[in-house]
Amino acid sequence: MSIASMTGFAREAGVTGPYQWAWEIKTVNGRGLEVRVRTPSGLDAVGEEARSQILKALTRGQGQLNLTLTRTSSAPKLRVNQDVLQSLLAAIGDLALPDTVKPASLDGLLSIRGVVEIDEGGTEPGQDEELVPALKAGLMPLIEALKGARLKEGQALAAVLRQQLDLISGLIGEAEAAPARRSEAIRVRLETQIAQLLEGRSTLDPARLHQEAVLIAARADIREELDRLYAHVEAARGLLDEGGAVGRRLDFLAQEFGREANTLCAKANDVSLSRIGLELKAVIEQFREQVQNVE
């Protein structure tokens, strides 16, 4: 199973009766799962159903779902109001018209206001028997397209994370092989420091100096930090192989990486080790930033 990014976009559109409609959803990274919905008036229930389905399909991320609806232009339907027309005919029939006045013609009667009515047709969008089912049917393709986009982004993200883990592993190896970690180098450095402290004085207890030197050497040892860093690298690789919703666990490992790198830098008693430690912290920070996008 592959990891998925929390970043994705999908669109599903169609035409139903006199309506053109389009679902659009965009998701970005977030600590939890939240989806906001915006629908035209009268379609709130459809929007809530869509939100519920999306929440079931995703694990993390912030999403914005929009539904746009446009009524296609069509020729209006004309309807003759029979009641008005009959009343008008009856009223005209009762009139005694002079010879100079022609009888009313049909076109003249139809031109009178109220005889011919314009029927816009259609119902409210939320009550349209064809539109609502079509909008609901468009949700599943929309969600599948969104998941596909997030998975595709996740594949690219996984490749970047693996490269960064390789860099981290390489820097750990450099720290482990650093000449400054060898016992001979530590001994020479401590002897030099002790000699500088004594500077011909004989008041310092050699046995106590030996004990202090042993403590300094122990505190400068980074073996445990290196072992934990190696373990974290393997754990992170295992999560990438496992796939699924592993973002939170990768984020936790990124924090642990940072703690061990900070300790390594604090213990570093050589310029080369300090350089490696700083490079390690930089790569770990890049790794942590990328992990923020993993579902």
Determine the structural domain holding residue 133 and report its residue range.
8-73+128-147
Q: What is the model's pLDDT at position 87?
A: 81
Q: Tokens for 100, please give them.
A: 């100079």
Q: What is the model's pLDDT at position 48?
A: 95
Mean pLDDT of 241-258: 95
User: How many CB atoms are located within 10 Å of the residue 293 CB?
Assistant: 21
Rounded Cα gap, residues 183 and 109, in angstroms: 113
Residue-wise pLDDT tens digits, 192-244: 666 666 665 556 566 665 666 666 666 667 889 999 999 999 999 999 999 99
Judged on CB neighbours under 10 Å (0-12, 13-18, 19+), 164 is: buried
Judged on CB neighbours under 10 Å (0-12, 13-18, 19+), 86 is: exposed
**pTM as predicted:** 0.72
Amino acid at 26: K
Residues 34 and 107 in one domain: no
Q: What is the model's pLDDT at position 80?
A: 78
Instruction: Give me the residue label for tokens 């011919």.
Output: 116
Number of structural domains (the chain) is 3
Please indicate, yes or no, if residue 158 is contained in any of the structural domains.
yes
Residue 191's pLDDT band, with cuts at 50, 70 and 90, is low
Residues 136 and 161 in one domain: no
Q: Tokens for 173, please give them.
A: 């190896």
Long-range contacts of 269-277, Cβ-Cβ distance < 8 Å, separation of 24 or more: 269/180, 269/186, 269/189, 269/220, 270/178, 270/180, 270/185, 272/178, 272/179, 272/180, 273/175, 273/178, 273/180, 273/181, 273/222, 276/171, 276/174, 276/175, 276/178, 277/175
Residue-wise pLDDT tens digits, 123-166: 677 778 889 999 999 999 999 999 999 999 999 999 999 999 99
Q: What is the CATH number of the domain that holds 155?
A: 1.20.140
Residues 285 and 183 in one domain: yes
Residues 98 and 177 in one domain: no
Please indicate, yes or no, if residue 194 is contained in any of the structural domains.
yes
Please indicate, yes or no, if residue 3 is contained in any of the structural domains.
no
Rounded Cα gap, residues 206 and 193, in angstroms: 13
